[in-house]
Structure 1
Amino acid sequence: MTSLAELLDERQHLLDLALRMVGSDTAADHVVQETYRRWYALGEAERAAIATPLDWLARTASGVGLAFLADPTRVPAAPASHTWSVPTTHQAGYGQAMLARHDRVARLFAAACRAGDAEALREVLALDAIAVSDGGGKIRVAERPIHGADAVARFLTALLPGTEAGLRSVNGRAGLVLRRAGRAVAVVSVSVAGAEVTAVWIILNPDKLQRWH
């Protein structure tokens, strides 16, 4: 598994490469989005057969950049981002007691994340917990939900190194904001049932993180 810090470095490398080719931040961003769109257009077996994704992505970005230079009026269209949203406190019908319970569980989850403790994460996750990531086509993230406490715990402990996790209010409930060099790189919310986390919602789309910086 790849950490978020490594994925951010990968995206920055592609942006720098594209910017050197096309000379515009806006065009470079579109080149990178088109590069990731082509990555996700591959089948799972095709992606798994690529030993070094960064090399493949860099070659693809170079090709997209060259196509842009040959026809600068044709900027690749941005892929559609995920449309899921985390339920707000009002939507979930939370009373004060339920909100307090949610926040107690969320704080246990946050402490386990900050410690990078996979066992502690498994203890607070429901057996059938899921994790869903939204990269908006702008960062290479898990394409499908991750299922099961073990898989979610492994995913989170692999994702977190290189970031600072701070407990913050997200949609009126306790959540996490991950920062790197002082900038928000992810916002994490959780859904809770009883004393367990049933779902982890991770926003990684840079466009949706602007207000968190």
Structure 2
Amino acid sequence: MAGQEIDAEVLGERRHLLSLAFRMLGTVAEAEDVVQETYIRWYRMSRAQRDAVEVPRAWLTRVASRVCLDVLGSARMRRERYVGPWLPEPVPTLAFIDPKRDDPAERATLDESVSTALLVVLESMSPAERVSFVLHDVFAVPFAEIAEVVGRTPAACRQLASSARRRVHSAREAKVSRAAHDATVRAFAAAARAGDLAGLIAVLDPDVVLRSDGGGIVSAARHPVVGADRVARFLLGALEKNPAAEVIDQETPDGLGFALWVEGRVTGVVTMEVTRSVVTDVRMVLNPEKLTFWN
């Protein structure tokens, strides 16, 4: 393959690399850095070395995954220094789907793989588990190739992916259908907009947890808010304090959620977890650095 054709093919993989890195790291900014580093390593090679790469996409995937593995190694320490609760970056529905390769049958699966709910579960995994799971279960990379990335045997990588898959399946077992999720969220919205404290409490699990991620950049709760009464009062108080904010129903990879609009810009995205027809988790991302795809 001619050098110029290879370069065009490599640059055309940017969406794929960004999609891969986002699922591994949970923020677009970190994923962008990984993509940039991957391309730097590609162009650092001589033309002869680049021409010798038989499948550029596979080479780029391996390198990007190794960079992600390094980033994940230091991520836990950075999360501990983060101001307030850290949440993965929410992205719009179908954010990473390539229109040229869009398969309607795969949309739901691809959408779920960037849901905040799944990314929260991935955060609990070891770097090797997360990389193995994402590469194999999301991108169908063979275990022999994953082994080259994580420095383990293919059998060990298979076990890592299997362990990660069990965690993911365990989290999914408690989830309701998308229709039931959206119905509960609509009841939540109706009570909140009406200022109905009792009605809001009724659609919240007694042990519901609200996390608000402002990253120290904008005002947000520094600690999780726990319990139906406290969460309901927090939400109604927040709406009362921000009369200029317009709360709009928003489809997200997690199901129906909300986008907070102020003066023509999205200033927050709210996603929820619903179990047994009540809301068990409320996730509010207000950090403007995590709203890049919305504005």
TM-score bracket, shorter-length normalisation? 0.5 to 0.7
Task: Please list every run of at least 4 consecutive aligned residues from structure 1 whose deviation after the TM superposition is greater than 6 angstroms.
Answer: none
Name the residue aligned to 2:283.
201
CA drift of 1:205 comes to: 0.2
Which residues in structure 2 correspond to 1:30-179 (within 5 Å)?
A: 80=82, 82-85=85-88, 86-88=116-118, 93=172, 98-161=177-240, 162=243, 163-179=245-261
8 A contact 1:132–1:202 mirrored in 2: yes
2:11 paired residue number: none
Task: Give the deviation of 1:196 after TM superposition.
Answer: 0.4
Displacement of 1:88 in angstroms is 4.3
Percent sequence identity over aligned pairs: 37
Q: TM-score normalized by structure 2?
A: 0.42
Select the structure of larger CA radius of gyration: 2
Taking structure 1 as the reference length, the TM-score comes to 0.56
Higher helix share: 2
Q: What is the CA distance between 1:123 and its match in structure 2?
A: 1.0
Amino acid paired to 1:136: G
1:120 maps to amino acid: G
Q: 1:182 to 1:115 in 2, by over 3 A?
A: farther
The offset of 1:183, in angstroms, is 1.4
Could you report, residue by residue, the CA deviation over 1:137-159 in whole angstroms, capped at 9, with x for unpaired residues? 10132111001100000000011
TM-superposed deviation, 1:130 = 1.0
Letter in 1 for 2:117: P
In the TM superposition, residue 99 of structure 1 has moved relative to its aligned partner by 1.4
Q: Which amino acid aligns with 1:196?
A: V
Distance 2:172 2:226 in 1: 26
Higher strand share: 1
C-alpha RMSD of matched pairs (Å): 2.6
How many pairs were matched up? Answer: 135
TM-superposition CA deviations, 1:14-48 (whole Å, max 9, x none): xxxxxxxxxxxxxxxxxxxxxxxxxxxxxxxxxxx
Cα deviation, residue 210, structure 1: 3.0
**Larger RCO, structures 1/2 (Cα 8 Å, 6+ apart):** 1
Range with greater deviation from structure 2 (84-93 or 135-144): 84-93
d(CA) in 1 for partners of 2:275 and 2:254?
Answer: 17
For 1:154 and 1:97, the matched residues in 2 are separated by: 25
Distance change (3 Å), C-alpha of 1:113 and 1:178: farther
Q: Secondary structure of 1:87's match?
A: helix
Unpaired runs of 5+ in structure 2? 1-80, 89-115, 120-137, 139-167
> 1:186 matched to which residue of 2?
268
* Maintained 8 Å contact 1:110/1:176: no
* Amino acid in the other structure paired with 2:273: S
Show structure 1 runs of 5+ residues with no match.
1-78
SS at match of 2:229: helix
